[in-house]
């Protein structure tokens, strides 16, 4: 789970920092940077798994367009930092069990844009990379206090730049071979992160960190794709566009069905659907042995049965979201934009409650927690949120005190309170101000 993110030099972000809750909702008007935050998280997730070029291909625009642009020019570098909570134990992709005595880590990464003599972009390379344990004293996530976490902050950095030469990244052995020499990777035009090279529990903390970032998922439901029947060999984890929804539902039924509950967790999904769409009665998965495909139907009141081909777009969005929330394998961070789409205003509080119930810290420190990040501009969603879950996003104009050049950056503030008489607008936030931001959006519409 992510507890903090810091960004500088990426798109509209400048010296940006934000603490994250198990359920965090980014609330604000369009063009305020909400989607840019999700893009930054997507980029970090891809950088933990692939080389820089491949990671940038997963984002829209040319690579150099990802760097912050102001009237004074384009930034030459971008930097990120995340603070994470790791589960105490895990199993790598090859079935090897591992332990992470330091459950709180901070990971920092700096990328530089290198240009040729004539100003043409030559490439984007790693300039700095570091991973270190967080001590109990410096831990900002107050909601983690009292959980009995293991900090083990006295150990050396797991990743660091060589102090003497500054031309190599050192990866410290912290597994079975922890007394061996650090592995070194050259920083001369490094085209991938050191973290992306970690593939086994030989480096348990770094493997767990890589998995945490790799498990940042983005749900961008495409109703047309979600309607399709699926091959039996489709992925068991819901894809971002929900194109394998039928297969996921079939696998969930197979894995959770019992004699007393023949539909397994599908019964729970249908019950939650009924809370949001009262006419829904049952969810049914169909297995066509001739076509070797899975499909699904929804049964409504009056014994009306509709196949996925004719279910409304809004209902499909809700079904895909609830499927992701009810998956026993859910873990990591789920990023979801505009959860209110397709939901009647009166049902929004129930939807937020479902999201809050799915997100949270696992009481078993050996199991991963699940986090939900939302983007929304709905006053109804905001009204259903707790103060600690609200992050207000807006764009502010700053003036460089030396050059006098004006530039726009994304600002996000958390810690909402019902009202404040006097406060610093850069760090403090009132519910009244968030409501005013959203009211401007409503008036403009």
Give, for all 445 residues of the chain, the pLDDT tens digit.
999 999 999 999 999 999 999 999 999 888 888 999 999 999 999 999 999 999 998 887 788 889 998 888 888 899 999 999 999 999 999 999 999 999 999 999 999 998 877 777 788 999 999 999 999 999 999 999 888 899 986 788 999 999 888 899 999 888 665 666 888 999 988 999 999 999 999 999 999 999 999 999 999 999 999 999 999 889 889 999 999 999 999 999 999 999 999 999 999 999 999 999 999 999 999 987 776 899 999 999 888 999 999 999 999 999 999 999 999 888 899 999 999 887 888 889 999 999 999 998 877 777 788 999 999 989 899 999 999 999 999 888 877 777 777 888 999 988 777 655 545 566 567 777 777 777 765 444 4
Secondary structure (3-state) at 321: helix
Smallest CA-to-CA distance from 192 within 319, 339, 48, 337 is with 48
Classify strands 23-27 and 370-376 as parallel, antiparallel or unpaired.
Answer: parallel
pLDDT at position 316 is 93
How is residue 147 written in tokens? 């959980």
Q: Give the torsion through C-alpha atoms of 6, 8, 12, 18, to 10 deg.
A: 20
pLDDT at position 82 is 98
Indicate the burial class of 445 (C-beta count within 10 angstroms; 0-12, 13-18, 19 or more).
Answer: exposed
pLDDT at position 218 is 94
How is residue 113 written in tokens? 């844009």
Contacts 24+ apart (CB under 8 A), 262-268: 265/326, 265/328, 268/326
Domain boundaries, the chain: 1-215+332-445, 224-330
Asked if 330 and 281 touch (Cβ cutoff 8 Å), the reply is no
Cα radius of gyration (the chain): 23
DSSP notation for 76-119: SEEEEEEEEE--SEEE-TTS-EEE-S--EEEEEEEEEEEE-TTS
pLDDT at position 426 is 60
How is residue 11 written in tokens? 């798109």
Indicate the burial class of 345 (C-beta count within 10 angstroms; 0-12, 13-18, 19 or more).
Answer: exposed
Classify strands 332-337 and 216-219 as parallel, antiparallel or unpaired.
Answer: parallel
Classify strands 2-8 and 304-307 as parallel, antiparallel or unpaired.
Answer: unpaired
């Amino acid at each position: 789970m992510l507890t903090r993110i810091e960004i500088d030099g990426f798109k509209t972000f400048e010296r940006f920092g934000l603490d994250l809750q198990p359920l965090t909702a980014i609330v604000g008007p369009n063009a305020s940077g909400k989607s840019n935050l999700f893009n930054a998280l997507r980029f970090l997730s891809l950088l933990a798994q692939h080389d820089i070029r491949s990671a940038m291909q997963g984002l829209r625009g040319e690579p150099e367009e990802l760097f912050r642009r102001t009237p004074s020019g384009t930034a030459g570098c971008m930097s990120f930092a995340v603070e994470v909570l790791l589960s105490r134990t895990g199993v790598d992709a090859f079935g090897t069990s591992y332990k992470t005595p330091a459950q709180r880590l901070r990971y920092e990464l700096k990328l530089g844009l290198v240009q040729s003599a004539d100003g043409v972009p030559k490439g984007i390379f790693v300039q700095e990379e570091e991973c270190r344990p967080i001590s109990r004293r410096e831990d900002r996530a107050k909601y983690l206090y009292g959980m009995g976490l293991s900090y083990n902050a006295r150990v050396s950095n797991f990743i660091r730049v060589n102090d003497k030469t500054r031309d190599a990244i050192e990866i410290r052995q912290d597994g079975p071979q922890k007394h061996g020499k650090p592995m070194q990777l050259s920083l001369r035009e490094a085209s991938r992160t050191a973290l992306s090279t970690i593939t086994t529990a030989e480096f348990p903390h770094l493997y767990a960190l890589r998995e945490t970032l790799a498990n940042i998922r983005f749900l961008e439901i495409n109703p047309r794709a979600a309607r399709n029947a699926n091959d039996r060999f489709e992925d068991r984890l819901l894809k971002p566009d929900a194109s394998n929804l039928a297969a996921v539902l079939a696998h969930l039924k197979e894995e959770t069905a019992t004699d007393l509950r023949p539909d397994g967790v599908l019964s729970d999904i249908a019950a939650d659907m009924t809370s949001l769409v009262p006419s829904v009665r049952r969810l049914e998965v169909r297995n066509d042995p001739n076509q070797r495909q899975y499909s699904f139907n929804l049964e409504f009141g009056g014994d009306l049965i509709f196949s996925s081909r004719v279910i409304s777009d809004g209902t499909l969005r809700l079904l895909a979201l609830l499927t992701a929330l009810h998956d026993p394998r859910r873990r990591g961070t789920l990023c979801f934009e505009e959860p209110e789409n397709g939901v009647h205003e009166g049902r929004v509080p129930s939807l937020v409650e479902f999201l809050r119930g799915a997100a949270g810290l696992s009481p078993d420190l050996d199991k991963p927690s699940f986090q939900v990040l939302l983007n929304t501009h709905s006053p109804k969603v905001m009204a259903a949120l707790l103060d600690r879950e609200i992050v207000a996003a807006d764009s502010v104009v700053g003036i460089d005190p030396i050059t006098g050049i004006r530039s726009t950056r994304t600002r996000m503030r958390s810690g909402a309170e019902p009202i404040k008489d006097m406060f610093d607008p850069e760090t403090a936030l009132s519910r009244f101000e968030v409501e005013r931001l959203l009211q401007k959006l409503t008036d403009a519409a």
